Amino acid sequence: MAEVTVVKQPKAERMEMAPFFTTPIFRGSLFNMNPFALMRQFTEDMDRFFGQMPKTATDTAAWTPAIEVKQKEGKLLVTADLPGLKKEDVKVHIDEDTLIVEGERKQEKEEKREGYYHSERSYGKFYRSIPLPAGAKAEQTAAQFNNGVLEITVPVPEAKTKRQEIPVQEETKKAA
């Protein structure tokens, strides 16, 4: 077995904080930061990092289209922006109490000119699940696809909210 020499370093008179605790990674002092703010910042940084990564031709990365969900006039309205897709590329179904929108895009671009050839392919699958509110009428769901925009309408019972106004009072100062 090889021998290792261990040398004990003398204690420093004053301990200084390592400089990496105030680097721009944390945008402030690590010890004064709220752990939730740190997690939010980390999540934003990771989203920004992975959102800007180049996709390779062989990469079948997930693609997340923009989807808007709103409830209006007794209907749940789901709008999905699916540019470049055809009706045949998209599937919509309801599984128990969840609306599922899924599909795949395949883009192939080929350019030929004199002495020049360029070919590019990109593929991406997407899967979005949207929980339906209680009482949704799944059998009356309608989906329409026009110019790359998918619109889904699900009849739902209107939510009755009980709203009560609460008066705001001003504090009176007492004389001492």
Write down the pLDDT at residue 58: 41
HSE-CB at 62 with a 13 A cutoff on CA atoms is 6
Could you tell me which residue, 47 or 17, shows the higher pLDDT?
A: 47
Q: Are 73 and 156 in contact (CB under 8 A)?
A: no
Choose which CATH entry (3.40.50.300, 2.60.40.790, 2.60.40.10, 3.40.50.150) describes domain 67-155: 2.60.40.790
Could you tell me which residue, 23 or 125, shows the higher pLDDT?
A: 125
Write down the pLDDT at residue 55: 44
Could you tell me which residue, 82 or 14, shows the higher pLDDT?
A: 82
Assess whether pLDDT exceeds 80 at residue 4.
Answer: no
Q: How far apart are CA 159 and CA 101, in angstroms?
A: 24
The mean predicted confidence, pLDDT, of the chain is: 77
Write down the pLDDT at residue 62: 57
Write down the pLDDT at residue 51: 66
Q: List pLDDT tens digits, range 115-146.
A: 888 888 877 888 888 898 888 898 999 999 99
Q: How far apart are CA 137 and CA 1, in angstroms?
A: 74
Write down the pLDDT at residue 6: 55
pLDDT band at residue 44 under the 50/70/90 scheme? confident
pTM of the model: 0.53
Place of tokens 């004199």: 114
Identity at 65, one-letter amino acid code: P
Q: What is the mean pLDDT of residues 92-107?
A: 88
Q: Where are the domains of the chain?
A: 19-51, 67-155
Write down the pLDDT at residue 65: 84
pLDDT band at residue 19 under the 50/70/90 scheme? very low
Per-residue DSSP letters for 114-136?
A: TTEEEEEEEEEEEEEEEEPPTT-
Assess whether pLDDT exceeds 80 at residue 5.
Answer: no
Q: How far apart are CA 91 and CA 102, in angstroms?
A: 5
Q: How far apart are CA 25 and CA 45, in angstroms?
A: 10
